[in-house]
């Protein structure tokens, strides 16, 4: 079974050290920590609706001597308290199948992105035999939402056996 490899996927993004990024629905840092290591001189906002995984993330980051992660407890469907147009990158990994209003979440991402900023989406393939129950969304449906929001589709790719990826550009 091949599961997601955050480093492998993040390496495709050609990130620069000083970028500012956010991880929507960061959980305990499976993506935020590898991202923070790449963006050494940058900043990563780890955003989650639950306090518990954010606390675990803080402990992991401290243990790994990573100091460029700031945790924010927020519901990404209701809005995030970060300056508009201040982010170079937003991660939405295994997030959208859990939210009610995908368009609202993508729209919030767009609001926070700098011009030419990117959103990386990793989602469960709709026909994947494993993974959580939830509102899985086909790539074509997410692409329609993205185009409605005037986001450009830079790339669509397979992200392991059970996931697909999309890179959107503001």
Please report, in tens digits, the pLDDT of each residue of the chain (170 residues total).
457 789 999 988 989 989 999 999 999 999 999 999 999 999 999 999 999 999 999 999 999 999 999 999 999 999 999 999 999 999 999 999 999 999 999 999 999 999 999 999 999 999 988 888 777 999 999 999 999 999 999 999 999 889 999 999 99
The SS3 call for residue 94 is: coil
- On whether residue 63 sits in a domain, the answer given is yes
Domain encompassing residue 129: 19-169
- On whether residue 9 sits in a domain, the answer given is no
pTM: 0.95
Which of 12, 15, 36 is CA-nearest to residue 88?
Answer: 15
- On whether residue 2 sits in a domain, the answer given is no
**What's the total number of domains in the chain?**
1
Which of 45, 41, 115, 118 is CA-nearest to residue 76?
Answer: 45
- On whether residue 91 sits in a domain, the answer given is yes
Q: Are strands 69-73 and 20-24 parallel, antiparallel or unpaired?
A: unpaired
| Predicted local distance difference test score (pLDDT) of residue 2 | 55
Assign 3-state DSSP to the chain and report helix, strand, coil percentages, each to 5.
30, 30, 40
């Amino acid at each position: 079974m091949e599961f997601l490899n955050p480093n492998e996927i993040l390496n495709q993004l050609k990130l620069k050290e000083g970028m500012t990024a956010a991880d929507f629905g960061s959980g305990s840092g499976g993506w935020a920590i590898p991202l923070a290591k790449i963006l050494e001189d940058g900043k990563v906002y780890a955003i989650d609706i639950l306090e518990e995984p954010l606390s675990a993330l803080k402990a992991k980051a401290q243990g790994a001597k990573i100091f460029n992660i700031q945790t924010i407890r927020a519901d990404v469907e209701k809005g995030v308290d970060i300056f508009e147009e201040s982010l170079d990158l937003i991660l939405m990994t295994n997030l959208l199948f859990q939210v009610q209003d995908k368009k609202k979440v993508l729209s919030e991402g767009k609001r926070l992105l700098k011009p030419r900023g990117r959103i990386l989406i990793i989602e469960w393939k709709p026909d994947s035999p494993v993974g959580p129950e939830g509102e899985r969304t086909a790539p074509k449906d997410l692409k329609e939402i993205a185009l409605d929001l005037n986001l450009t589709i830079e790339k669509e790719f397979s992200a392991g056996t059970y996931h697909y990826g999309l890179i959107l550009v503001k």
